[in-house]
């Protein structure tokens, strides 16, 4: 039965992409983050569902008139340079599966072309953000309810066969989409949506707690501080946070506190010290190969150990040049999301820019903190954040330019005096 439902859903997504290609971008996001075919039990699970949808969207991208040119933003150029540099480091790598990994990364990167070309209005961008938030949020709420019913004694995992199936990875993903859901609530006029989001946020917090992830706890702390700081009702939100913390503490098992306590006593924890040793080894390895690193998967091929850090993994696998490009994209986006709303304050009706920028910046900072302990430098959610930020800037500047053009035209009309 599940197979039939997923197959029908896939057919609907294909038909939607044929009718309106930008709906195909939303469909690809659903299959990337919700991964509905992974929940099937039969033949659908083995079908190349994502690739079929990808080909349909690719075909419609270049046959539709409802599209735009790729934005001329430096982050797009850096993104292409990073992908090309991955190809260069792959020629120098000695792991037998390096080109397979390069192809896997390419499959993650290619669909972003569709996002940049087909998401050509603010309304479409809004729906893309909602789609990403809901795709992860649905599984997060399900996990949160399960965590409550089981007394937080078991860990919450993500959708099967995704980049964030692991409990630690999914915990960070859940926290990253909370700003997306809050943006949906702020921008929506429907009372049911507003209430539904408010109901889901605490459950997602509980699901993240039940991941038993120490990195998620640090990310959660940072996220909460950012949300409280930006809240218009700080006098109300601060007591609610405090009450929520004290309300949940009695229900968490002792083993959970024991694991979280190792954040303070990391020097006594074998897992934490193992990570530090790997980071040091990765740094030393990169010093020997500063321009190429070891290549995709080489470190795992040699040591059978994970980097446990996006930052270390990037420079250890591809060297300091790739690391500089990658980190510049992240920090540059945070910078832009911080100062773009300030430029828009002098314009009426541009409050949406501040709302979008805060949500994206908060999510990106959650990524920066959470993946300091997880090797997720190729995560598609990161690049979605960057390119959505590119489109926010593009649409904001276009809206201001159009206003200035209208005002200039009006001034010319008013100043014209017939002879």
How do the domains of the chain map onto residue ranges?
1-67, 68-415
Predicted confidence at residue 375, as pLDDT, reads 84
Separation of alpha carbons 367 and 381, rounded Å: 9
Looking at residue 257, what is its pLDDT?
67
Residue 301: CB atoms within 10 Å: 16
CA separation for the pair 268, 280 (Å, rounded): 18
Which pLDDT value is given to residue 268? 47
Q: Which of 105, 132, 172 is nearest to 374 (CA)?
A: 172
Whole-angstrom Cα distance, residue 184 to residue 237? 19
pTM for the model stands at 0.90
Token couple for 348: 């009426």
pLDDT value at position 338? 95
In a structure prediction context, what are the per-residue pLDDT tens digits for the chain, which is 419 residues long? 677 888 888 889 999 999 999 999 999 999 889 888 777 776 666 777 778 889 999 999 989 999 999 999 999 999 999 999 999 999 988 778 889 999 989 988 999 999 999 999 999 999 999 999 999 999 999 999 988 888 877 788 887 777 788 888 889 999 999 999 999 999 988 999 999 999 999 999 999 888 877 788 889 899 989 988 887 776 667 777 777 776 777 767 667 666 666 655 445 445 666 777 888 888 888 898 899 988 888 777 666 677 788 999 999 999 999 999 999 999 999 999 999 999 898 888 889 999 999 999 999 999 999 998 888 899 999 999 999 999 999 999 999 988 767 666 566 666 655 55
């Amino acid at each position: 039965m599940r197979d039939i439902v997923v197959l029908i859903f896939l057919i609907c997504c294909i038909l939607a992409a044929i009718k309106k290609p930008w709906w195909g971008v939303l469909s690809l996001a659903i299959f990337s983050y919700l991964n509905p075919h992974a929940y099937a039990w039969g033949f659908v699970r083995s079908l190349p569902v994502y690739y079929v949808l990808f080909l349909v969207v690719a075909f419609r991208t270049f046959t539709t008139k409802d599209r735009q040119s790729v934005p001329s933003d430096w982050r797009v150029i850096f993104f292409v340079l990073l992908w090309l540099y991955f190809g260069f480091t792959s020629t120098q790598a000695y792991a037998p599966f390096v080109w397979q990994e390069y192809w896997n990364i390419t499959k993650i990167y290619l669909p972003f072309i569709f996002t940049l070309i087909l998401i050509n209005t603010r309304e479409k961008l809004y729906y893309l953000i909602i789609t990403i938030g809901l795709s992860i949020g649905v599984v997060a709420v399900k996990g949160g309810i399960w965590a409550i019913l089981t007394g937080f004694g078991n860990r919450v995992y993500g959708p099967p066969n995704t980049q964030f199936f692991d409990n630690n990875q999914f915990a960070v993903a859940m926290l990253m989409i909370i700003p997306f859901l809050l943006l949906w609530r702020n921008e929506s006029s429907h009372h049911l949506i507003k209430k539904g989001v408010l109901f889901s946020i605490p459950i997602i917090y509980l699901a993240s707690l039940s991941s038993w992830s120490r990195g998620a706890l640090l990310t959660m702390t940072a996220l909460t501080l950012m949300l409280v700081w930006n809240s218009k009702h700080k006098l109300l939100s601060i007591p609610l946070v405090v009450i929520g913390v004290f309300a949940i503490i009695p229900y968490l098992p002792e083993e959970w506190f024991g694991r979280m306590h190792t954040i303070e006593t990391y020097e006594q924890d074998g897992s934490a010290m193992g990570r530090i040793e790997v980071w040091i080894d990765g740094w030393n390895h990169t010093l020997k190969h500063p321009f190429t690193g070891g290549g995709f998967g080489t470190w795992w091929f040699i040591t059978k150990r994970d980097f446990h850090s996006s930052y270390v993994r990037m420079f250890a696998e591809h060297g300091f040049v790739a690391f500089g490009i990658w980190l510049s994209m992240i920090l540059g986006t945070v910078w832009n999301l911080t100062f773009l709303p300030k430029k828009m304050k002098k314009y009426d009706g541009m409050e949406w820019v501040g709302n979008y920028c805060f949500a994206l910046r908060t999510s990106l900072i959650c990524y920066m903190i959470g993946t300091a302990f997880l090797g997720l430098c190729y995560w598609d959610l990161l690049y979605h954040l960057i390119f959505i930020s590119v489109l926010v800037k593009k649409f904001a500047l276009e809206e201001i330019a159009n206003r200035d053009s209208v005002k200039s035209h009006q001034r010319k009309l008013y100043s014209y005096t017939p002879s």
